[in-house]
Structure 1
Amino acid sequence: MNKDKLTKILGEEPVSMSSVGGGCIADSQVISTRAGQKYFLKQGFSNGLFEKEAHGLEELARSNAIRVPKVMFSGEDFLILEHIESGIKRTDFFMEFGRRLALVHQQSAKGFGFFEDNFIGSTPQKNIVSGEEENNWPLFYWNKRILYQFRLAEKNGYADATLASLIAKLESVLEKILKESEEPPALLHGDLWGGNYMIDETGNPVLIDPAVYYGHREADLAMTKLFGGFSADLYRAYEEAYPLKPGASKREPAYLLYHVLNHLNLFGSSYYGQAIQLLRQLTKA
């Protein structure tokens, strides 16, 4: 984005633009203005990804449970957020994070999904429900998460006979696996790995880069374990604030599978073996 366009959007002149890390997919910069304001600019896609991200941040902000960057301006090909300075973890950082995440998950809606489809990374994420999906979590999760990713894997050339056979077996047992965990839809970050939180200037947690929808809260917690980066204190504080139903650890592979399949589609066959391992664990094959 050029300086003139930024000046028009911000209503003040930028004096510097510094490139920074912005996750796996976005071109991100910190903008400083002549008036002394700082903003965080994300750009690099023109498919509405950033508008969807803005809506997700606004949904999380409405929970008043945890800090997220304030959306300042958004468009089809850009997102401008408040700039949050990075700080140092408080000694009780993960305990506080766990308590605040529990509060996020206590925000509910009338049904699963979201008012719009959005993205997880650069992959489309299907949230608009039809028929029974709104009130049937296993059906929603199968159709909108696992089956959708499998169809993408077929299209991308990663779905061999072994993967197809195990996916078919999973369809027959998924409802049984998930049935013990019926709960109202919970507000989810949707992509909660270690790169999608930061520490603000006061040492508190901030959620960034969401793939928001209303689903089962165990799905968010499972994602935190895919790559690590979260202390045991988070899970302990979460359980104290909002205990999970028995058997959550047995359901965890089902929720990890969605993200592993997504990584297979995004980054290639290095994730194939992990997907097969999870499927065999779930289907006992």
Structure 2
Amino acid sequence: MAALTGASVEEMRPVGGGDICDAYRVALSDGRTVFAKTLRPAPEGFFAAEATGLELLASSGTVAVPEVSAVEEDVLVLEWVEPGRADAAQAERLGRELAALHATPARAWGNPDPSRPAYLGSVPLPSPADPPAAPEDWPAFHAEWRLLPLLRRAVDGGGIAGRDARDVERLCEELYADPGDGTGVSGPPLPPAVVHGDLWSGNVLWSADGRARLIDPAAQGGRPETDLGMLELFGCPHLERLLAAYEEVGPLPGLRARLPLHQLQHLLVHAVLFGSGYGARCGAAARAALG
């Protein structure tokens, strides 16, 4: 730790940090307090991808994230943010900030560094070496680089089968055929925007200073529905207030009808990681997206 931070460790105690990594609150000899998380062995580029994602979100000037202090193959060191209570004021501010984030243009669909995958949990999300960037490219990109690879992993691992798998395949066929002009299942064409990419409520850090921080991103060029669908999928404190504030800044007509399509990616990841209990939900989301 001293080599990474330039200071020796005075105290290190475990804190909650998710299901994958070991996490610690670390008091340093120079008076700083940092958050460190480790994973041994970590997938190649695992923490580097997270650090890149945090830096991409920070560079938008819209949402708050912990500052990256240091990153190595098996450890990530971040600014310590004192946790606080989730309240309506933070939720409303976060809603406005998310709308501003989603108005930030991304270079293309997919990961900011196409040579490096993003991660949803421990599951990698690759991108093509020459990523597409036109609004009408999103449906085929989403089918080929997000849904189908996850579906194959879920099928191979027994997380989805039968009708549910076939309906996800059928949705992907519709996406391949979607012209991206608003007449298909993907909805109206939108240019790639910077999104968090894994915005379930556990990746919202409610702070003592009154401004929520976003953590553990799979930040990339995507569509806003990806973040909003994830927040709704597993619930979030004061979600109605958050979404109302978002809509005041960046309304998305027809959002609710498109949520199942955008929630499917995350449900497939859960089918990969946690098994067949999520397979039925994947099938239901695909059928709802197909209408």
TM-score (norm 1): 0.92
How far the C-alpha of 1:186 sits from its partner, in A, is 0.8
In the alignment, the residues of structure 2 paired with residue 93 and residue 192 of structure 1 have an alpha-carbon distance, to the nearest angstrom, of 16
Q: 1:16 to 1:146 in 2, by over 3 A?
A: same
Instruction: Tell me whether 1:27 sits opposite 2:10 in the alignment.
Output: no
How far residue 17 of structure 1 moved from its aligned partner, in angstroms, is: 0.7
**How many residues matched?**
276
Q: What is the CA distance between 1:279 and its match in structure 2?
A: 2.1
Aligned 1:165-204 pairs, distance under 5 A? 165-174=166-175, 175=178, 176-178=184-186, 180-204=187-211
**Shift of residue 134 of structure 1?**
3.5
Higher mean alpha-carbon deviation, 109-118 vs 53-62, is at 109-118
Structure 2 unaligned regions, length at least 5: 179-183
Cα gap change, 1:192 to 1:91, in 2 (>3 Å): closer
1:69 touches 1:208 (CA, 8 Å); kept in 2?
Answer: yes
**How far did residue 128 of structure 1 move?**
3.3
Residue 67 of structure 1 pairs with residue 64 of structure 2? yes
In the other structure, the counterpart of 2:181 is none
Kindly report which structure 2 residues correspond to 1:123-272, keeping only aligned pairs within 5 A, or say none: 123-128=123-128, 130=130, 133-135=132-134, 136-174=137-175, 175=178, 176-178=184-186, 180-231=187-238, 232-244=240-252, 246-272=253-279
Q: Structure 2: how far apart are the matches of 1:21 and 1:152?
A: 28
Mean Cα deviation higher: 193-202 or 164-173: 164-173
Partner of 2:167, secondary structure, is helix
* Mapped partners of 1:122, 1:261: distance in 2: 13
Cα deviation digits, residues 13-50 of structure 1 (max 9, x gap): 10111000012211100111122211110101422211
Partner of residue 3, structure 1:
none
Closer, same or farther in 2 for the Cα pair 1:206/1:167, shift >3 Å?
same
- Name the amino acid aligned to 2:82: E
CA distance in 1, matches of 2:2, 2:198: 32
Q: Structure 1: where are the runs of 5+ without partners?
A: 1-5
**Over aligned residue pairs, what C-alpha RMSD do you find?**
1.6
Match of residue 108 from structure 1? 105
Percent identity, aligned pairs only? 35
TM-score by length of 2: 0.90
* 1:149-192 CA distance string (max 9 Å, x none): 111112213342323321232123233111x3211111010010
Shift of 1:89: 4.3
